[in-house]
A and B are shown apart, each in its own frame.
Chain A
Amino acid sequence: AQTVTQSQPEMSVQEAETVTLSCTYDTSENNYYLFWYKQPPSRQMILVIRQEAYKQQNATENRFSVNFQKAAKSFSLKISDSQLGDTAMYFCAFMKGGSQGNLIFGKGTKLSVKP
């Protein structure tokens, strides 16, 4: 069975600063995907970034980037130039590849961006 662990229940960062959210996972699968989802106070689930396990290059989406360490089963999210609108719960998620796989989420990290 796959597990996803987020060891930081809460974090805070000053506006315009950089913050890194940690995530580790456990799986015996070789083909899988990793995601970071953002859940603001509206509770909408918003995809921030995804990483294919077969790709060595770290994914980047504007101010969001990941550090994917496959051997260490680590998948951290870096948010640069933090903005007040980044305040949200962030969930790391795992999905098996090659099928209609469901998402397995970590417990989440509550990020507060302070002015």
Chain B
Amino acid sequence: AAGVIQSPRHLIKEKRETATLKCYPIPRHDTVYWYQQGPGQDPQFLISFYEKMQSDKGSIPDRFSAQQFSDYHSELNMSSLELGDSALYFCASSFIYRGYNEQFFGPGTRLTVL
């Protein structure tokens, strides 16, 4: 079965640089979520999109932005990177079935900021 695809899997950047993370949801899934998991932490919700519109916003810094495109893939853009942005970034996709919304997670992108 198709799974959520994230690219790149690993990314190394310098402070103050910009990074773009990509997420390709499972076909026919209409919602995409982004989560950030710092070292030794639980995943924290950043932002979500439903049918290409932003549906909810969590603890996403103003330096970050995201969007969902017409083909439903999503990109998380991170500017002015800081050391504290080093984390595992998960994308998850879902669709609502019988009122239930199960999120399927991608493998994550490990971002290291030096």
What secondary structure prevails in chain A residues at the interface with B?
loop
Interface size on A, residues (CB 8 A): 22
CB proximity of B52 to chain A, nearest CB, Å: 13
Q: Which residues of B contact A43 (CB under 8 A)?
A: 37, 88, 107-108, 110
Interface centre among A97, A102, A103, A104 (most CB of B within 10 A): A102
For window 16-33 of chain A, which residues contact chain B by CB distance below 8 Å? 33
Q: How many residue pairs, one in A and one in B, have C-beta atoms under 8 Å apart?
A: 58
Q: Verify if B42 is at the interface (C-beta below 8 Å from A).
A: yes
Q: Is the CB of B45 within 8 A of A103?
A: yes
Encode B91-114 as 1/0 by CB contact (under 8 A) with A. 010101001111111011010000
Q: Is the CB of B101 within 8 A of A52?
A: no
Q: Which of B45, B96, B108, B110 lies in contact with A102, CB distance below 8 A?
A: B45
Q: Do A45 and B102 form a contact, CB below 8 Å, given A100-B48, A103-B45?
A: no
Q: Is the CB of B102 within 8 A of A47?
A: yes
Q: Do A102 and B48 form a contact, CB below 8 Å, given A44-B107, A91-B43?
A: yes
Give A residues with C-beta under 8 Å from B. Answer: 33, 43-47, 50, 52, 91, 95, 97-108
A-B contact sample (10 more), CB < 8 A, given A91-B43, A95-B103, A102-B33: A33-B100, A43-B88, A44-B107, A44-B108, A98-B99, A100-B55, A100-B56, A103-B35, A104-B45, A105-B42
